[in-house]
C-alpha cells in the first residue's frame, strides 16, 4: 500500500519508457558522462504504447536539477543531513512558515499514509469526496475507520457544504484533494478557506495540494496560510508532479509542530541526497516552473478542445490530467485506447464511463487526438 497511485498497475504494464526516463534511470551508472541536456526536457521520440495513466510529468525535470544531481554523485557516500536542512529552510521560506512547520517525506504519499495511520488508529470516521484519491482513506479503513463518502457536486467539485454537514463527534479527520484526483477540479478558494476554518474547529482537515502548482493560480488557491494562522490544517505537496521528480520520491507537509510530531511518529523514511539536491535546484529554477506549467496548460487546453469537438463532457481540470466522459464502460474504452497504443487510468467508481488521461508532450497529444477521434468520433 505504501505506493503512489496505480503503482501496482505500473508493474503489470509492459511499456517502453520515454527517452528522458531511460536516461534518468541510468543516472548512477552513467555518473561521469551524463550531462543535464541528456535528460532534462529532452523532446521524447514517440515511444509506444504511451504511458498516460499515472500523472507523471511528461516534460521531465529541470535541467538544473539534473546538473545538481550529477554534481552530487561523487558525494553519495555522505548522509544528506546538510542538504536536507537546506531544503527544509528553502521550503519554509517559500511557504512563509518557520522550519518546524515543515515535514519532509518520501513522496507526499508517505505523509498521506502516516496521517492515515495516526488518525486511522482512532477507529472513527474520515470524511472524503468520491471519486477522489484514496491513499489515506485505504489505510484508515484497514485500521478500522469508517469512510464517510460525499459525492462531488454537479460541477464534479468537492461539495463542501455536504462535507461540513457530515462532521460529527466521530469524525477523526477530513480529506480534501485540491485539485481533486481524478476530476482535476479546484474548490472555490474563499469557500474552501471558510470551510477549513470552521471544520477544523471540530476535526483536523488535510488538504492534498499534489497538483496545485499545475493550476493557473497557485497563490490564490493554496491553503498554507491557514496553517500559519493556527488552524488545525495540514497541507501536503510533492516534487513528483510539476517538478517532474516522481522517481526521486520527495514530498512534504506544512502543519503545526504538534501535528508534525504525531505524523512523523508513523514515518520511517527521509529524502535521499539525490532527492534533496534535485528538489533544491528545482525550487531555484523559476523559469522551469513557469515553462512547465505553460506546457501542461497548453496540453490540457488542446485535449479539452478535441473533447468539446467530439461532444464529450469533461471536467474543468486544473491538473496535469484531464477527465472526460467516454460514453462507454471504462474497461471497453481502456481496451480501445490500448489498441491505439495509449494506456489510460483505471476506473474511478462511481463514474464508470469516465476516463482520466495524463497530459503528454505535444507529439503524444497529437497521437492521443488521433486515437480519440477514431474511438469517439
Ligand atoms: C492526489 C495525490 N496525492 C498524492 C500523491 C502521491 O504522490 P507522491 O507520493 O509521488 O508525492 C498522488 C500520486 O499520484 C496523488 O495523485
Residue 52's closest CA among 313, 288, 346, 290?
346
Entry pTM: 0.90
Task: From 2, 3, 4, 179, give the residue whose CB has the most ligand 1 atoms within 8 Å, as the site to mutate.
Answer: 4
Q: Are 208 and 236 in contact (CB under 8 A)?
A: yes
C-alpha cell at 9: 498497475
pLDDT tops 90 at residue 270: no
What totals of helices (H) and strands (E) does the chain contain, helices first?
Answer: 15, 11
Cα gap 196→193, rounded to integer Å: 5
Q: 52 - beta bridge partners?
A: none
User: Rounded CA gap, 255 and 347, in Å?
Assistant: 33
Ligand 1 centre to CA of 3 (Å) is: 9
Residue nearest to atom 3 of ligand 1 (CA): 210
Q: How far is CA 131 from CA 168, 180, 209, 317, 372, in A?
A: 22, 9, 16, 14, 23
pLDDT band at 44 (very low <50, low <70, confident <90, very high): low
pLDDT surpasses 60 at 163: yes
Task: Give the number of C-alpha atoms closer than 13 A to the C-alpha of residue 116, restricted to the C-beta side.
Answer: 28
Q: Where are the domains of the chain?
A: 7-63+286-376, 74-284
Residue 177 CA, closest ligand 1 atom number: 1
Q: How far is the CA of 281 from the centre of ligand 1 (A)?
A: 21
Tell me how many degrees the CA angle 366-293-289 measures, rounded to the nearest 5: 130
- The grid coordinates listed for 255 are 502543519
In tens, the pLDDT along 192-201 reads 999 999 999 9
For ligand 1, mutation pick of 1, 2, 5 (most atoms within 8 Å of CB): 5
pLDDT in tens, 107-146: 999 999 999 999 999 999 999 999 999 999 999 999 999 9
Which CATH number is 74-284's, of 3.40.50.2300, 2.30.30.100, 1.10.8.640, 3.40.640.10?
Answer: 3.40.640.10
Using CB distances shorter than 6 Å, the residues near ligand 1 are: 4-5, 55, 107-109, 112, 133, 177, 181, 208, 210, 238, 240, 246, 251
Residue 18 CA to residue 29 CA, distance in Å, equals 18
**What is the average pLDDT value for the chain, to the nearest integer?**
91
- Ligand 1 nearest-atom number relative to CA 240: 10
Question: Stretch 315-338: mean pLDDT, rounded?
Answer: 98
Give the CA distances from residue 279 to residues 214, 234, 314, 366, in Å, rounded to whole numbers and listed in that order. Answer: 17, 21, 33, 31
Classify each residue of 143-166 as buried b or exposed e, where b means 16 or more C-beta atoms within 10 Å of its C-beta. eebebbebebeeebbbbbeebbeb
Q: Which three cell numbers stand for residue 58?
A: 511528461
pLDDT, average across residues 205-215: 98
- CA nearest to 317, candidates 277, 278, 346, 359: 359
Compute the distance between CA of residue 11 and CA of residue 338 in angstroms, rounded to an integer.
Answer: 16
Position 13 scores a pLDDT of 36
Instruction: Give distance in angstroms: CA of 1 to centre of ligand 1.
Output: 13
Contacts of 72 (CB under 8 A, 6+ apart): 83, 273, 274, 277
pLDDT tens for each residue of 62-89: 999 999 999 999 999 999 999 999 999 9
Alpha-carbon distance of 332 to 216, in angstroms, equals 33
d(CA 41, CA 204): 39
Question: Which residue is closest in CA terms to ligand 1's atom 5?
Answer: 109
Overall average pLDDT of the 274-303 stretch: 97
User: Beta strands 171-177 and 233-238: pairing type?
Assistant: unpaired
Residue nearest to atom 16 of ligand 1 (CA): 181
Region for 249 from its dihedrals, namely left if φ exceeds 0, alpha if ψ lies in -120 to 50, beta otherwise = left
What is the pLDDT, as a whole number, of residue 269?
84
**In 3D, which of 359, 337, 356 has the Cα closest to residue 346?**
356
- What separation in Å is there between the alpha carbon of 160 and the centre of ligand 1? 22
Q: How far apart are CA 107 and CA 245, in angstroms?
A: 10
The single-letter DSSP state of residue 59 is: T
Centre of ligand 1 from the C-alpha of residue 241, in Å = 8
Does 35 score more than 60 pLDDT? no
Task: Report CA(253)–ligand 1 centroid distance (Å).
Answer: 12
Average pLDDT over residues 350-373: 97
Task: Write out the CATH class of domain 7-63+286-376.
Answer: alpha beta
Closest atom, ligand 1, to C-alpha of 54: 14
Mutate to test the pocket of ligand 1, among 9, 238, 245 (most ligand atoms within 8 A of CB): 238
Q: How far apart are CA 314 and CA 323, in angstroms?
A: 6
What pLDDT sits at residue 188? Answer: 98
The CA 182 to ligand 1 mean position distance, Å, reads 11
In angstroms, the Cα distances linking 145 to 120, 126, 265 are: 6, 7, 19
Amino acid at each position: 500500500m505504501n505506493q503512489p497511485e496505480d503503482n501496482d498497475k505500473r508493474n503489470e504494464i509492459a511499456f517502453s519508457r520515454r527517452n528522458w526516463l531511460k536516461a534518468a534511470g541510468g543516472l548512477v551508472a552513467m555518473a561521469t558522462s551524463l550531462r543535464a541536456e541528456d535528460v532534462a526536457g529532452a523532446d521524447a521520440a514517440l515511444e509506444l504504447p504511451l504511458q498516460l495513466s499515472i500523472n507523471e510529468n511528461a516534460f521531465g525535470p529541470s535541467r538544473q536539477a539534473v546538473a545538481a544531481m550529477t554534481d552530487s554523485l561523487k558525494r553519495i557516500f555522505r548522509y544528506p543531513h546538510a542538504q536536507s536542512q537546506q531544503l527544509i529552510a528553502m521550503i519554509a521560506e517559500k511557504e512563509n512558515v518557520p522550519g518546524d512547520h515543515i515535514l519532509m517525506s518520501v513522496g507526499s504519499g508517505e505523509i498521506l499514509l502516516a496521517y492515515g495511520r495516526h488518525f486511522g488508529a482512532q477507529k472513527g470516521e474520515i470524511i472524503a469526496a468520491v471519486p477522489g484519491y484514496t491513499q489515506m482513506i485505504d489505510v484508515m479503513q484497514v485500521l478500522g475507520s469508517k469512510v464517510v463518502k460525499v459525492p462531488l457536486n454537479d460541477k464534479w467539485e468537492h461539495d463542501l457544504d455536504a462535507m461540513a454537514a457530515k462532521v460529527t463527534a466521530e469524525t477523526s479527520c477530513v480529506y480534501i484533494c485540491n485539485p481533486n484526483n481524478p476530476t482535476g477540479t479546484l474548490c472555490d478558494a474563499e469557500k474552501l478557506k471558510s470551510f477549513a476554518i470552521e471544520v477544523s474547529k471540530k476535526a483536523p482537515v488535510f488538504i492534498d495540494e499534489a497538483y496545485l502548482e499545475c493550476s493557473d493560480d497557485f497563490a490564490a488557491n493554496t491553503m498554507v496560510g491557514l496553517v500559519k494562522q493556527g488552524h488545525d490544517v495540514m497541507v501536503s505537496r510533492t516534487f513528483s508532479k510539476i517538478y517532474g521528480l516522481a522517481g526521486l520520491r520527495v514530498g512534504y507537509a506544512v502543519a503545526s509542530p504538534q501535528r508534525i510530531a504525531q505524523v512523523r511518529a508513523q514515518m520511517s523514511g527521509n529524502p535521499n541526497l539525490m532527492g534533496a539536491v534535485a528538489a533544491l535546484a528545482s525550487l531555484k529554477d523559476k523559469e522551469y516552473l513557469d515553462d512547465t506549467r505553460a506546457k501542461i496548460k497548453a496540453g490540457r487546453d488542446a485535449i479539452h478542445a478535441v473533447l468539446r469537438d467530439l461532444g464529450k463532457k469533461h471536467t474543468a481540470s486544473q491538473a496535469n490530467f484531464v477527465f472526460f466522459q467516454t460514453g462507454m464502460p471504462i474497461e471497453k474504452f481502456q481496451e480501445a485506447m490500448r489498441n491505439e497504443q495509449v494506456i489510460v487510468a483505471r476506473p474511478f467508481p462511481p463514474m464508470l464511463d469516465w476516463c482520466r488521461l495524463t497530459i503528454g508532450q505535444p507529439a503524444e497529444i497529437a497521437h492521443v487526438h488521433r486515437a480519440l477521434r477514431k474511438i469517439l468520433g
